[in-house]
Amino acid sequence: MNDIPSNDQIQTALDNAYAYAKTVQGGKNASYIPALAQVPSDLLAIAVVTVNGDLLTAGSADTPFAIESISKAFNLAYVMDLIGMKQLRTKIGADPTGEPFNSVMAIELHGGKPLNPLVNAGAMATVSLVNGSDSDEIWANMIHNFNNFANTALTVNQEIYKSESATNQHNRGIAWLLDSYGYFYNTPPMIVDLYTRMCSLNITTSQLALMGACYANGGVNPVSKKRVVKDENVPPILAELCMSGLYNSTGDWMYKAGLPAKSGVGGGLVAVAPGKLAMAAYSPPLDPAGNTVKGQAALQSIIKELNLNLFRS
């Protein structure tokens, strides 16, 4: 393994990636959540946080956006710490579905068990495992975990939350379906609401890079120095990101990038270079699988320039 790149090298790579990603065309804002279609499509930001806690950015890295599916990768940490990986695996699988993130067929084909924690079914089942006696208590546990990763008090984007709550019938259907098979561990309507709230959290590109850097740093937040996830749970979570982090085009991403990553339909993307740094990008237009087009281009450019592909010796 080579060393952690210097901050000068990182800043140069960020500036190059930003200039390159600006020229990359294509993609469309998500529109199945109406409020996401209204976000300006030309926003672009990139950020890196190293395991030393240094932050480097290019573009509008302080602009908040909806975290969406990226939240799944961090709520997973809380639940894995809570019940342990072994127990979690009896309730939620680890393998890619080969289907879109909200597929019902993937559930039906596998005896009602959610195939992995990064698709909607598995992510909602994960939320259903969070401890707490009512919705407020469960949310308090969830948001405390997110705040520990981001080292700040995150807030819900109310416009996205309302828009998504009014249009999430499909997710409600998935939750009831899992419940009918015995793979849901709390009341479906309450859990879908908490899941929707979690997806509507506002995050900035800088904050997202810090969240990823907790994974790069073996589960310790490199700025607050607090442990946010057990050391033993970092490898399985990153393995999961390698398999299903970019929906059903994760294989394409892994061929090109070679780093665990997670995207969301809000246009965010975070990638983790273990032991070194994490990087995040934000740009709303998505490819057909649901991944930010410019964000992927930007992070692939940084990975190449800094030689961060995990599979290179």
* Cα 189 to Cα 174: distance, rounded to the nearest angstrom: 11
Q: Which of 65, 101, 139, 282 binds ligand GLU (CB under 6 A)?
A: 101
Query: Is the Cβ of residue 264 or residue 274 nearer to ligand GLU in the bound state?
Result: 264
Asked if residue 248 lies in contact with residue 264, where contact means CB atoms within 8 angstroms, the answer is: no
Nearby residues of 214 by Cβ (< 8 Å), 6 or more positions away: 149, 220, 221, 222, 228, 229, 278
Closest C-alpha among 131, 133, 114, 35 to residue 75: 131
The answer for 187, left when phi > 0, alpha when psi is -120 to 50, beta otherwise, is: beta
CB of 265 to ligand GLU, least distance (A): 4
* 171 contributes a contact to ligand GLU by CB under 6 A: yes
Among 77, 130, 265, 302, binds ligand GLU (CB under 6 A): 265
Binder of ligand GLU out of 188, 264, 284, 285 (CB under 6 A)? 264
Positions in 181-220 near ligand GLU (CB under 6 A): 199
Which of 117, 219, 245, 290 is in the footprint of ligand GLU by CB under 6 A? Answer: 290
Asked if 293 touches ligand GLU (CB under 6 A), the answer is no
69 binds ligand GLU (CB under 6 A): yes
Task: Give the amino acid at 224.
Answer: S
Binding to ligand GLU by residue 277, rule CB under 6 A? no
Question: Which residues ranging from 10 to 39 are in contact with ligand GLU (CB under 6 A)?
Answer: none
Asked if residues 85 and 251 have their Cβ atoms less than 8 Å apart, the reply is no
Is residue 100 helix, strand or coil?
Answer: coil
Q: Given the rule CB under 6 A, which residues bind ligand GLU?
A: 68-69, 101-102, 120, 164, 171, 199, 264-265, 290
